[in-house]
Structure formats: structure tokens, C-alpha cells
Structure 1
Amino acid sequence: MINKLSIVKLNPIIIREDRKNYIVEDRKNGEFYEMPNPAVDAINLINKGKPLGDIEQILKVKYPNEDIDIIDFANQLLDLELISEVNGELILKEVDQFGPTGFLWIPESVSRFFFNKYSYIFYISLLLFNIYILLTNHHLLPNYKDYFIFSWMSLNILLWLGIGGALLILHEFGHIIAMRANGLPTRLSIGHRLFFIALETDMAAAWKLPSGKRNVLYLGGLCFDMVAFACALSIQYFYPTGPALLLAIMKILVIDIFIRFIFQCGVYMKTDLYFVIENISGSYNLMENAHHYIKSKFKKEARKAGEAVYEEEKRTIKSYSVIYFIGVLLTILVFVFYSIPQIITTMSHSIDRLSSPLFSKPFFDGAIVLVQTLTGLSLLLYSWYKKYRLKKE
């Protein structure tokens, strides 16, 4: 039992100053926590071996306007598994992981070739080039019909999966290389964005860096996307008489990356751009606070609590809420003009072909599409189940 006479000992930690508060790294568990000034002062006093009661009195004098409860804080540290000893007694906790340790085989020197002060100018130039090409050449703007190259829908889907998978790996590889350029480890896992399967790069170690350097890690995937986008547009623009299949594949690349970028603007899904906004603002629970703010517009109880808790961040939350709804609108537009027409065209053709004679080529085409669809849904359900299980744990 922890009381005011207790002397506690913490795991080895590193404290880094951030935009508004401090980032505390638990070196034993590989976890990171945001803490305000009083909490960091309490940790420093704990590390000096002072009893909790003495620490509370010191903090009450230093922060007269704060509600200081050292026992509650110590119990929070205990729940976070940051305490290793209480009054000399060792607290044994099972550690599930020690942080991501993957991709250490990628040399930092090689990774810095892709992410340095000169490469950032290159990526920005590519972004401006891509925008210019699309605005001045309307025939290169993506259309959902660009997805359909072959008369066989099963071949079209295989092509979409191949191109989409390659672009997905390229995007995540951008994050990985950005992490390695800063000497940080990472790893990949499977997740989802709405109804789409996605790979996810673990960037928890990014908290080791100052806030100004973290944005590069979050934008690493988009930087690599801009390279692929520029290549696909350039081939169509500078080589319009090229092989029809090559130009058709470039159109799929354009529409795929274009849609991915629009989804990145959907910050309500905690996309890469969401983490950039969160990092710039210094509000690391921005989405949760915005949800509370939005609810407060419709519920009296939520409004009263929101005014007390989020007063300092209200302006940031309001601005984010506007971006939030813009992201929702853009996502709806993508579904209306691209995803839904693509799905309707694919399924209507496939269902028609299933009515063909058994074992005929059209029937096999429709059946293969059905198997491909069920496989994709299975992966999506697995991703949803995995997310639900983690939340429950």
C-alpha cells in the first residue's frame, strides 16, 4: 500500500521538454507519456529519494493553484508500470515488449540520402510539379473508369491488388526510411482505414525526437508517394504515344495515389496528416478533445465539462474541428465519385457473368471475383477484430 511515508523508486526514464508539456520515456518498457510541469517535478523529487508526503508539501507551495494529490499520482505511476520499488520492495511486472526493434539492418547513412535538408526541397518541388500538371492538363485528372483495363474483372482486380499493394509498401517504406534516417527502430503491422486494409508503421520511437523533427517521420510515406505520383504523371505527359498497357497502368497509379492522398486529409481517421497537426499544435489528444467539443454542441452536460477541461486548447480544437469536417466531406466525395462507381461496375459485371454456363470462361471470371471479394472482407474483419481485442485488453 502506498502512503505519504512511502519512498518509491522509478524505472530508468528520460524526460524531454516538448511544446506544452514534457515527454517521459520509460526505458524499461519502451513507452512514452506526456506529463505537465508538476508531474515532472514530482518525478524529479521521487528520484531524489524523498517521501511522498514531503513531495506533496513542496509541490503545493510551488503550485498553489494546482490540485496536488501525490498518492493519486503515485498510483497512476504504478498503473503505468513506471514504479520498480516501494519502500525497498521490488515490484515485478511482466513486460510484454520493449518497443519496436525492427529494420535495424537498414543503415542510417543510406536512409539519410532520402531524408536530409536537400531532399525536403526535392519532395516539395515534386508536390508543386504534380499540382501544376494536374491543373494544366485536365485529361490527366483521375477517373474511376481508369480502373478498368481488361474485359475480365478478375484480371482488373488482380492488377488493382498488385498496384495497390506495391504503393502501400512504398508508402510505409517511406516511414521506415525516415525512422532509420533518425536512428530509430520500427516495425510493421496490419490495420485498416474505414473499409480498406492498411499496413501500419510503428512510430512510437518518434517521441525520442524533438517535436520539430517528428513531422518528417509522419510525412515520410507521403514523400515517397509524391515520387511515384510524379513518375506516373510524367510518363503520361511526356510519353503520350507509349504502349497502351503502360499508360493504362500509370492511370491506375495516379488514381490510387490521388485517393490515398484524399484519405490522408481525413484527419478523423488519425492519418499521417492528423499526427502532423497534432504535433504542430502540441495537443496530443486532439481527436478525443475534438469529439468532446463537438458533443458539447449538442449536450449540456458535455458542454459544461468541456468548458472546464479544454479552455486552454479550445481555439486549437475549434480549428481542428473545421479540418475534421472538411476531411469527412472529402471522404464522402471520394466514395461518391470513385469507390462506389468502381464497386458497382465491378460487381454488376461479375454477377452477370455468374449467370453464364457453368465452367465457362465468363463464369470463372465472376467466381474468381467472388473469391477475391471474400478474401478482402476476411482480412478486413480480421483487422477489425484485432482492433476490438486490443481495445478490450
Structure 2
Amino acid sequence: MKLSFDTKILLHELHYRKEKKHFIVEKNSTGDFYEMPEICIEAIEKINQQQSLKKIEEDLILAYPQEEVDLLSFVQQLIELELVKEVDGEEVFHDGINQAVSGFTWLPSSFARILFNKATIPLLLLLFLVNLLLFITDHRLMPHYTDIFLFQSMISNMGLYMLISLVLIILHELGHILALRSYDLPASVSVGHRMYILVVAETDLTAAWKLEAPQRYRLFLGGMFIDQLLLLAAILTKLSVPAGEELFAGIISIVILDIFIKTIYQCSIYMKTDLYYVLENATRCYNLMENGKNDLANWIPYLKKDSTTATFEGEEKMVRIYGIFSLIGVLFTFSLFVFYFIPQVTYILKTTLPHLVDPVDNPYFWDAVAIVLQLLIMAGLLLFTIIKSKKSSSV
């Protein structure tokens, strides 16, 4: 589409709000959000006033002498972002669909505010400190990688652990949903993955941009609030379980182990965990991960830069600090593999593989076969996702 200074532009209905550094712009019809500096907002306002593009550019050059102003390029970007409705009276058609979230509105906000209100974040910090203190003062509470092995049958152990983990994931996401509903905002949940093989549920927190920055913490930390509440309940239950209730005590230990691991995982901010969004919100640098990778690409040759994102002026220092936090997050992830995942897989193989030589009428033979098949499937999925990721990055 060829643009000129005589081109007439009609934008979609936009709503914008000043942040600490820049503006958050919302496209009302789709619920999409964009971060823009003040000069872009002034350009949008002048376009909405039907001023000529030539005059707008001249005014912006005078108002922002230190900025490089190219209004036609900016309008072209607006078109690519699907923010332009008409060009010279002709409607601009896009392939995009309305992505505005509208789920879980049946959950009353008054109910959500029972758990999620002004006291939620202070209470979360208190819960975290109490749980940490309990772990420090009673070493018996510290989760061990063998806690998931309640039965002799590995399939039974894996099935129970997966069931408990699934329930806890649902409750974690329910925390995010209730936090959204406490502000009377809609919510939706999808399934994603981390580190190629970790399947996770993800609550769409896009609606958080409708709120002021301090209000968003409740949304980002809603899942961890539920986690820490359940963890305290599990710890107190374990301390009060009478002797002889080994199965029940074992189930409680699995709950503690799972939440403990997921809490450490949240510190892996080189992925977009809940704590990553907390850091992003606190710094008001809304592309920390992408800009952090671009910064690393200056030092690591094989890393490819993301051309769709750029660092705003003054964010360079925070991007570097994020790199340090990312390194710490990698160490946290590495510790999970060293102290939990690798020992668990080693234990499973050491326990089950000898049963492959048992007679076929022995149930533990089939238990071993099922475990081996499960590991092969996981290895295949890991290989497939790595190959797929490399292919997509090379395109």
C-alpha cells in the first residue's frame, strides 16, 4: 500500500493510558495492547483530528527536535499493527480475529474479592515467610525426590503424582482467574509448554493492562498466593498426621514436593513465569525477555535478534540486570534437575529395568514396559519440539 502526505487515515477506536515511562494503547475491538512513547500518542491524536499528515510531521519535528520523525513510516506500522480502519475511504481488511477475552464472567466478583483484595499481596509475603521458616526449623519437612514413590508399582506412583500435580495446576490457575474476577475482568485458560517438555496451563492476563500498574500484582501473583496457602495447609496437616497413616502422609508429602518445585520454578524468570511478569511490571520495561535476548545476541554469535522489539531509551541498564536475574533463574532450574528430576528418573530406571527380564505373567514386567514406553515417548516429544523450534527459528 503506497502512502503519501495526501493520504487520509481513519484509525480504529483506541484507548490509551499514561504509564510511568510511556503509554499503553488498547484497540477496543480486539483487546490488543501496545506500548508507545508520547510522540506516537500525539501523532495518533492529530490523525484522529483529521489533520494532514504533512502538517502532523512538521508539528512533531518542532515539538520533538531530538526525535527522528518519519510519519509515513509510523502510519505504515499502524497498518501492520491492524490499528488503521480506512485508508482514503477504503476499509483496510485484516486476517486477525477478535481476541478479546470474555470467559469466566459467571464467577461473581464479590466472591473473588473474599480471597483477592488489598490484603492479598501482604498475606502472600507472610505465607511465604512462614512456610520458609517451617522448612528451616524442621528439616523433616524438606521435600525429597523419593516422596513420589509411595507404591512398588512405578505406574501407580506416576499416575498418582500426575493426578495430584494436575489438581494443583488447576488450583493455581484458579488463583489467577479469581484475581482477574476480583477486578470484574474476564479470563481464559490455555495449555502451553516450557523447556520443550513441561506442559503448563496458562491464564490469559492480557486484561491486566486495563489496570494501573500497582493493581496488576494481584493478577500476576494470584496463582502463587493459592500455592502458598495450600503449602501451609499441607505442612500443618503433615505435622498433625497420626502415626500409621502412611498413605495419607505420603499424599501430603507429594503435595508439598510439587508446590515446592513449582515455587522454585517461578524463579526461572528467563521464561515467562509469574515472577517474570512481576519484574516486568515493577520496572515498566515490558519486553524484558526479548530485549534481554537481543542484548545477549551482541555477545553470543549464534543467538538471533528479534527485530520486532526494541529497547526504549533508559531501559538498557534494566535489561542488563534482567540478564543477571535470568542467570540466577538458570541456576534454580539446574538445581531442580540435579536434586529432583535426574535422581527421580535414575531411581525409576534402577527400580523398573531389572523387571524387564521377569516372566510376562509378572505384573512388574508390564510395569517396567509401560515406564520404558513412557520415557521413549517423552524423549521423542523432546526431540520433535527441539527440531521444530530450530526449523521455525531458521525461517
Is TM > 0.5 for Structure 1 vs Structure 2? yes
Separation in 1 of the partners of 2:31 and 2:386? Answer: 26
Instruction: Report if the CA contact (8 A) 2:57-2:69 is conserved.
Output: yes
Distance 1:347 1:100, change over 3 A: farther
Letter in 1 for 2:14: I
Distance 1:269 1:298, change over 3 A: closer
Deviation at residue 380 of structure 1 after TM alignment: 6.7
SS of residue paired to 2:190: strand
Instruction: Report if the CA contact (8 A) 1:197-1:379 is conserved.
Output: no
TM-score of the superposition, structure 2-length normalised? 0.91
User: RMSD over aligned Cα, in angstroms?
Assistant: 2.7
The 5 Å alignment of 1:119-268 reads: 119-194=120-195, 195-239=197-241, 241=243, 243-268=245-270
Instruction: Report if the CA contact (8 A) 2:53-2:71 is conserved.
Output: yes
Provide the residue aligned with 1:58 in structure 2.
Answer: 59
Deviation at residue 310 of structure 1 after TM alignment: 6.2
Give the stretch that moved more between structures: 119-128 or 320-329: 119-128
Provide the residue aligned with 1:96 in structure 2.
Answer: 97
Distance 1:207 1:390, change over 3 A: farther
Letter in 2 for 1:284: Y
Distance 1:391 1:39, change over 3 A: farther
Provide the residue aligned with 2:292 in structure 1.
Answer: 290
Letter in 1 for 2:255: L
Instruction: Report if the CA contact (8 A) 1:350-1:366 is conserved.
Output: yes
Deviations 1:96-137 (A, max 9, x none): 233221111111111111101234343332212101100100
Deviation at residue 363 of structure 1 after TM alignment: 1.2
Instruction: Report if the CA contact (8 A) 2:18-2:24 is conserved.
Output: yes
Separation in 2 of the partners of 1:121 and 1:24? Answer: 30
1:280 to 267, 279, 282: 282
Deviations 1:184-205 (A, max 9, x none): 1121111112121111111111
Separation in 1 of the partners of 2:148 and 2:27? Answer: 48
Instruction: Report if the CA contact (8 A) 2:120-2:218 is conserved.
Output: no
Give the stretch that moved more between structures: 382-391 or 241-250: 382-391
SS of residue paired to 2:51: coil
Distance 1:251 1:26, change over 3 A: same
Separation in 1 of the partners of 2:41 and 2:106? Answer: 35
Instruction: Report if the CA contact (8 A) 2:149-2:157 is conserved.
Output: yes
SS of residue paired to 2:4: coil
Separation in 2 of the partners of 1:101 and 1:382? Answer: 34
Give the stretch that moved more between structures: 226-235 or 119-128: 119-128
Separation in 1 of the partners of 2:283 and 2:198? Answer: 28
TM-score of the superposition, structure 1-length normalised? 0.91
Letter in 2 for 1:283: C
Deviation at residue 344 of structure 1 after TM alignment: 1.3
Give the stretch that moved more between structures: 126-135 or 234-243: 234-243
Distance 1:92 1:293, change over 3 A: closer
The 5 Å alignment of 1:349-388 reads: 349-373=351-375
SS of residue paired to 2:227: helix
Deviation at residue 382 of structure 1 after TM alignment: 8.7
SS of residue paired to 2:252: helix
SS of residue paired to 2:270: helix
Deviation at residue 294 of structure 1 after TM alignment: 2.8
Instruction: Report if the CA contact (8 A) 2:29-2:100 is conserved.
Output: no
Distance 1:229 1:388, change over 3 A: farther
Count of residue pairs brought into register by the alignment: 389
1:80 equivalent in alignment to 2:100: no
Distance 1:337 1:355, change over 3 A: same
Letter in 1 for 2:63: K
Name the one with the larger helix percent.
1
Letter in 1 for 2:97: D
Separation in 2 of the partners of 1:64 and 1:374? Answer: 62
Deviations 1:21-70 (A, max 9, x none): 10100012221100001000000111111121111111111001100000
Provide the residue aligned with 1:44 in structure 2.
Answer: 45
Instruction: Report if the CA contact (8 A) 2:291-2:311 is conserved.
Output: no
Deviation at residue 311 of structure 1 after TM alignment: 5.8
Instruction: Report if the CA contact (8 A) 1:196-1:380 is conserved.
Output: no
Instruction: Report if the CA contact (8 A) 1:154-1:368 is conserved.
Output: yes
SS of residue paired to 1:53: helix
Letter in 2 for 1:47: N
SS of residue paired to 1:117: coil
Separation in 2 of the partners of 1:24 and 1:190? Answer: 27
Provide the residue aligned with 1:106 in structure 2.
Answer: 107
The 5 Å alignment of 1:325-344 reads: 325-344=327-346
SS of residue paired to 1:102: coil
Q: Structure 1: any 5+ residue segments left out of the alignment?
A: none
Deviation at residue 88 of structure 1 after TM alignment: 1.8
Separation in 1 of the partners of 2:297 and 2:393? Answer: 22
Deviation at residue 379 of structure 1 after TM alignment: 7.3
Separation in 2 of the partners of 1:382 and 1:182? Answer: 41
Deviation at residue 220 of structure 1 after TM alignment: 0.6
Provide the residue aligned with 1:34 in structure 2.
Answer: 35
SS of residue paired to 1:268: coil
Separation in 2 of the partners of 1:389 and 1:43? Answer: 38
1:17 equivalent in alignment to 2:9: no
